[in-house]
Amino acid sequence: MSFQAYIDNIKTKTGKTPSDFKKLAVQKGFLEKGNLEPIVKAGEIVKWLKEDFGLGHGHAMAIYATFKGMK
């Protein structure tokens, strides 16, 4: 599955885009000024996305990758 397919599936499942998730991540304290906080680990973000949005590991990692700058 391509990266874009992961993003499209996430949008279909949650109704949210990577930009929406970034805004939520700012509210959670994971991002500041568009950048990941240095103390935040991938596992914390994956856990949050799994618990709050029902994403699988691969889809959660795709969102994490957008936080790291992947497009």
pLDDT by position in tens, the chain (length 71) = 799 999 999 999 999 999 999 999 999 999 998 899 999 999 999 999 999 999 999 999 999 999 998 87
What's the CA gap between 37 and 35, in Å, rounded?
6
pTM (two decimals): 0.92
Give CA 62 to chain center in angstroms.
6
Pairing of strands 35-36, 31-32: antiparallel
DSSP state of 44: H
